[in-house]
A and B are shown apart, each in its own frame.
Chain A
Amino acid sequence: MDFELSQDQRDLQDGIRAVLEGSLSLETSRGREGRDDVVDPKGWTALLDAGVFGLFVPESEGGVGLGLAEGVLVAEEMGRVLVPGPVLSTMALAPILDAARDGIAHGLFEAPARGATAPGLVEHPDSIHALVLLPPLEDPVTEPTLIEHGDLRYSQVLEPLDPFTPLGVLQEPYPVGVSLEGTSSPQLRQRAMVLTAGFQVGIATACVEQATAYAKGREQFGRPIGSFQAIKHLLADALCRSELARSAVYAAAVTLDDPVVATREADTLGCSVTQLQWRVVAGAKILADEAAITNARTAIQVHGGMGFTWEVPMHLFLKRARVLSSTFGTRSQLADMVAALI
């Protein structure tokens, strides 16, 4: 057992970080804030060229041939700089859709659970070429369906919470799409959950780093505010949240990647492999959502009044964390799911 990153994984991390710094830094992305199409074509091409969308595709089919362990590392790096656009959904769909692996943007939409009252909000409606509809969580049998963009009927949300996540309200009844034969909805959902959780860990980490840097430089009462225990303790707790969430997310990714590990752990816990997979994935997303939201709140608090301004980017981390925590299961829903599995 060696749960540290391998040299290849570190290289991948460094490589993606360099690509993002070059083409998709937060400063660059902020130029597209609030647009209906937040995807910067140059940045998107850089992701495609870096192999982000072909990550899970076998090398024999022209992809990079890696697993979710590498996927979460990439997602984490993207979370640190809040890469805009339908990148996680396109990544999650790449193993089953040729178009997605070629970098053609796709959305992923969960059919609301029975009795749900929230409107059917779809992200990046103007940027996606097609939308894949996942059946509700309680339905593990039905395969996902693909709806071409031209068949979608939606109205634009005028003021989306996150200026990097434009939204449309899908009009009901939803169009009947083409069934993606042979695709496992649970597997697709788990992949999306883990990648989302990875992105959240990136957000949580960036918030600690940026708030720490600010606390070192900002002086009040004649000394850096980071020398006050009140600030130190906020940041220490934030670091604990992101490190704990990171551990859970990496473990979930490896558990989905490696059937030997999954079988062994399921055996230890006395449950089925399927139950174990849901448990680790749901648990990882609970902690990652919590870390991202709470650390973003902490980062705003540490920035004081400036943290409440639009100019300082901390609100963008908080808003994206909120968007992601509402997709593929909220913390409450996932806690219910874990409880039902034990």
Chain B
Amino acid sequence: MDLRYSDEEEQFRSELRTWLSGVLPNLPPKPSSTDWPGRRAYDAQWQRLLFDAGYAGVDWPVEGGGRGASPIEQLIFKEECERVGAPYVGTGFVGLLHAGPTIIAEGTQAQRETYLAPILRGDDVWCQGFSEPSSGSDLASLRTKAVRDGDEYVINGSKIWTSHAEVADYCELLVRTGPDDSRHKGITWLIMPMKSPGIEIRPLKTIAGSTEFAELFLDDVRVPVANRVGDENDGWRVTMVTLSFERGTGFVGELLESMRILRSLTEFAKRNGSWGDPSIRRRVGTLTASFDALWALTKRNVSEAARNGVPGVGGVVFKLSFSEQGQALSELAMDLLDRAGLSASGLNGGDGLGDLPNAEYVDAWMKSISLTIAAGTSQVQRNIVAERVLGLPKEPK
């Protein structure tokens, strides 16, 4: 149990800190959340800066063009970026965190040469076509069909929760190539260019009013067989391989962001008088303890990943616990806002209080509702913990 950073780790941190302090003041203002081309351009510019400085794909292996940083350095990278409010991956999310690592692990040499560098440079944006309207938690039941026609697949079906589809160049797509009831054994992983004819994109408005997600409708979309990653009907394994890239840093940005909101919320409570309420102070104290513990758990997870290559049980434990604490935090924020929480746009407080943080807190509150749903519902996560960690028997079929 050693929480000291090594000299190399400290040096990595200080170089990164210096670079960030030089580059951040020159960034343009962030585009509005509804300006998709603007967001893409902003994220691409940031990614290019990272690329030129050698920080693109900090978690990618060197052979894939990444930096090959250790899990501890990846943690430091996220910590330092969040500390100074550097942009996050944004529209680069799927390419950098999912499709790229999959192609590194399972793609052909030609695929690696075609797709990896543009992701790292910020030139290409990817989206994910995994979930379907009828296949959410039960992903292996997916029905979007791909039929072989010469050296192409002809694809029909629909996908949902496809983030950044409007601005994406490619989609990592899971399709059914086996019989209808083949489940895990009949799925194939494809690279679908988003400019292919037959793709209709319909934005989905979330409860936060944003259009982060879209539905994809695929009507006789043709994708070359050369765009297949892995063997036909082996796409489930290809998908699972990507999960082994997880280094225990999956939600570090979100955790540090929550810790920042907790500090801001404490300041606000002191400003608006609610700090005099012991029940509010107690909730802040308990949440502080929980977030400190999640930070400590993160350090355990990355240490385990550094030793064994994967974070082990801690990853799921983190996801389940953080989701609930994140929601507790945003409920507290709403309680502090009182009726100002009824406005999602900025307000001025009475009695000379000045600008209220209501726009930020209300937005955070609405988004936090997805914490126990996105990336695996908490109910499915609990099944995973119970069956894979505790070894409890599977539900009878």
| A212 touching B390, Cβ below 8 Å | yes
B314 on interface, CB distance cutoff 8 Å? yes
Contacts of B395 in A (CB 8 A): 227-229
Of the stretches B53-61, B145-153, B379-387, the one at the interface is B379-387
Contacts of A212 in B (CB 8 A): 390-392
Q: How far is the CA of A1 from the CA of B304 in the complex (A)?
A: 11
> Interface size bucket, A side?
35 or more
- Closest A residue to B308 using CB positions: A4
Find the residue from B1, B293, B395 having the highest chain A CB count within 10 A: B1
| B293 touching A235, Cβ below 8 Å | no
- Closest B residue to A260 using CB positions: B4
Q: How far is the CA of A250 from the CA of B286 in the complex (A)?
A: 18
- Closest A residue to B281 using CB positions: A339
The interface residues of chain A, by DSSP majority, are classed as helix
B278 on interface, CB distance cutoff 8 Å? yes
- Supposing A6-B1, A254-B3 touch, asked if A245 and B393 sit within 8 A by C-beta, the answer is no
Q: How far is the CA of A249 from the CA of B209 in the complex (A)?
A: 41
The interface residues of chain B, by DSSP majority, are classed as helix
A117 to chain B, nearest CB (A): 18
- Closest B residue to A283 using CB positions: B289
Cβ contact of B299, chosen from A3, A231, A337, cutoff 8 A: A3
Contacts of A216 in B (CB 8 A): 391-393
- Supposing A4-B307, A6-B1 touch, asked if A227 and B393 sit within 8 A by C-beta, the answer is yes
Q: How far is the CA of A332 from the CA of B281 in the complex (A)?
A: 10
- Closest B residue to A338 using CB positions: B285
Q: How far is the CA of A248 from the CA of B307 in the complex (A)?
A: 21
Q: How far is the CA of A247 from the CA of B290 in the complex (A)?
A: 10
| A232 touching B1, Cβ below 8 Å | no
| A244 touching B285, Cβ below 8 Å | no
Contacts of A239 in B (CB 8 A): 313, 317, 385, 389-390
Residues 28-58 of A at the B interface (beta carbon under 8 Å): none
Contacts of B285 in A (CB 8 A): 286, 334-340, 342
Q: How far is the CA of A244 from the CA of B395 in the complex (A)?
A: 27
Q: How far is the CA of A323 from the CA of B310 in the complex (A)?
A: 38
| A244 touching B294, Cβ below 8 Å | yes
Residues 293-329 of B at the A interface (beta carbon under 8 Å): 293-294, 296-297, 299-300, 302-304, 306-307, 313-314, 317, 320-321
Cβ contact of A232, chosen from B288, B289, B306, B387, cutoff 8 A: B387
B137 on interface, CB distance cutoff 8 Å? no
| B3 touching A235, Cβ below 8 Å | no
Contacts of A226 in B (CB 8 A): 386, 392-393
Cβ contact of B293, chosen from A1, A228, A287, A340, cutoff 8 A: A287
- Closest B residue to A67 using CB positions: B1
Q: How far is the CA of A297 from the CA of B267 in the complex (A)?
A: 36
A25 to chain B, nearest CB (A): 23
Q: How far is the CA of A208 from the CA of B263 in the complex (A)?
A: 34
| B278 touching A4, Cβ below 8 Å | no
Contacts of B9 in A (CB 8 A): 1
| A254 touching B282, Cβ below 8 Å | no
Q: How far is the CA of A98 from the CA of B296 in the complex (A)?
A: 34
| B299 touching A240, Cβ below 8 Å | no
A323 to chain B, nearest CB (A): 21
B396 on interface, CB distance cutoff 8 Å? yes
| A232 touching B72, Cβ below 8 Å | no
Q: How far is the CA of A248 from the CA of B304 in the complex (A)?
A: 16
Instruction: Work out how many contacts link A and B, with CB atoms closer than 8 A.
Output: 183
Q: How far is the CA of A69 from the CA of B300 in the complex (A)?
A: 14
| A1 touching B385, Cβ below 8 Å | no
A102 on interface, CB distance cutoff 8 Å? no
- Supposing A244-B294, A244-B297, A339-B284 touch, asked if A2 and B321 sit within 8 A by C-beta, the answer is no
B33 on interface, CB distance cutoff 8 Å? no
Contacts of B282 in A (CB 8 A): 332, 335-336, 339
A68 to chain B, nearest CB (A): 10
Cβ contact of B303, chosen from A4, A332, A342, cutoff 8 A: A4
Cβ contact of B289, chosen from A231, A286, A332, cutoff 8 A: A286
Cβ contact of B286, chosen from A2, A251, A335, cutoff 8 A: A335
| B303 touching A3, Cβ below 8 Å | yes
Cβ contact of B383, chosen from A224, A229, A243, cutoff 8 A: A229
Contacts of A227 in B (CB 8 A): 392-396
A233 on interface, CB distance cutoff 8 Å? yes
B206 to chain A, nearest CB (A): 26
18 other A-B residue contacts (CB within 8 Å) besides A232-B386, A283-B292: A1-B5, A3-B1, A3-B3, A3-B296, A3-B299, A6-B2, A227-B392, A227-B396, A229-B383, A232-B392, A236-B386, A236-B390, A243-B313, A283-B293, A335-B285, A338-B284, A339-B282, A342-B288
Instruction: List the interface of chain A (C-beta within 8 A of B).
Output: 1-6, 9, 69, 208, 212, 215-216, 223-224, 226-229, 231-233, 235-237, 239-240, 243-245, 247-248, 250-251, 253-255, 258, 260-261, 264, 279-280, 282-284, 286-287, 331-332, 334-340, 342
Instruction: List the interface of chain B (C-beta within 8 A of A).
Output: 1-6, 9, 72, 263, 266, 278, 281-286, 288-290, 292-294, 296-297, 299-300, 302-304, 306-307, 313-314, 317, 320-321, 379, 381-383, 385-387, 389-396
Q: Could you list 27 examples of A-B contacts with CB < 8 Å?
A: A1-B9, A4-B1, A4-B303, A6-B2, A212-B390, A215-B392, A223-B393, A226-B392, A227-B393, A233-B383, A236-B389, A236-B390, A239-B385, A240-B320, A243-B297, A244-B297, A248-B293, A251-B292, A261-B3, A280-B292, A282-B289, A283-B290, A283-B292, A334-B285, A336-B278, A337-B285, A338-B284
